[in-house]
Structure 1
Amino acid sequence: MLTRPRTAAAVGLAVLAVIGAAPTALADGPGGGVECDVFICEVEADAPGQAGSSTGGQAGSEPQGGSESGTSSNPWTCVYEPLSPQPPAESLDWEGHTPGDGAVYQQTCHYLDSPHSVVRNQWLADPPPAAASVDPAVLAQRAVDSMKLAGPDIASPRATGKYLVGMPMWMWVNQSATTYGPNTASASAGGVTVTATAKVSKIVWTMGDGTAVTCHGPGTPYTAASGKSDSPTCGHTYSRASADQPGGRYPVTATSTWTINWQITTGGGGQAGQLTENRQTQTQIPLAELQVLN
Structure 2
Amino acid sequence: MLKTLWRLVVATLFLVLAATPAVADPGTGGTAGECKNRYICVVVTEPGSTADPGGGSGGTSGGSDGGVQMCAWNGQQWPCWDDDLGWFSTANGCYYHRSDPQPPAGDPSWEGHDPADGAVYEVNCRQTGDTLTPLPPQFFAQPPGGPPPPDRPYDLGMKALGMIHFDAPELHAAPAGTAVVGVPVWLWYAKSPTSSGPQHATAQGRTMHVTATAALRTVHWDTGDGSPGADCNGPGTPYVPGTGANVQPPCGHTYRSTSAGAQDQTLYLTARVVWRVVAVRSDTGAQVFAVDYTVTTDVPLPLKVAEVQALN
User: Shorter-chain TM-score: what band?
Assistant: 0.5 to 0.7
Report what 1:141 is aligned to.
158
Q: Judging changes above 3 Å, is the alpha-carbon distance between structure 1 residues 284 and 65 closer, same or farther for their aligned structure 2 residues?
A: farther
Task: Give the TM-score, by structure 2 length.
Answer: 0.55
Please give the root-mean-square deviation of Cα atoms over the aligned residues, in Å: 4.7
Report what 1:279 is aligned to.
295
Offset at residue 77 of structure 1 (A): 5.0
Q: Is the 8 A contact 1:86 1:104 kept in 2?
A: no
Q: Deviations over 1:6-58 (max 9, x none)?
A: xxxxxxxxxx489xxxxxxxxxxxxxxxxxx959xxxxxxxxxxxxxxx8667
2 CA distance for matches of 1:148 and 1:278? 12
Is 1:167 aligned to 2:191, yes or no? Answer: no
Is 1:289 aligned to 2:302, yes or no? Answer: no
1 CA distance for matches of 2:180 and 2:70? 65
Gaps of 5+ in 2: 10-56, 63-68, 87-96, 112-117, 125-133
- Which amino acid is the alignment partner of residue 215 of structure 2? K
Identity %: 28
**Match for residue 280 of structure 2 among 252, 263, 267:** 263
Offset at residue 255 of structure 1 (A): 0.7
Higher helix residue share: 2
Look up the SS of the partner of 1:278 in the other structure. Answer: strand
Is 1:245 aligned to 2:262, yes or no? Answer: yes
Gaps of 5+ in 1: 1-15, 19-36, 40-54, 95-101, 109-117
Moved over 4 A (4+): 55-66, 71-79, 83-88, 118-126
The number of aligned residues is 226
Offset at residue 196 of structure 1 (A): 1.9
Report what 1:222 is aligned to.
239
Q: Is the 8 A contact 1:149 1:178 kept in 2?
A: yes
Offset at residue 221 of structure 1 (A): 2.4
Is 1:196 aligned to 2:212, yes or no? Answer: yes
Q: Is the 8 A contact 2:163 2:201 kept in 1?
A: yes
Task: Give the TM-score, by structure 1 length.
Answer: 0.58
Offset at residue 78 of structure 1 (A): 4.6
Q: Is the 8 A contact 1:181 1:200 kept in 2?
A: yes
Look up the SS of the partner of 1:143 in the other structure. Answer: helix
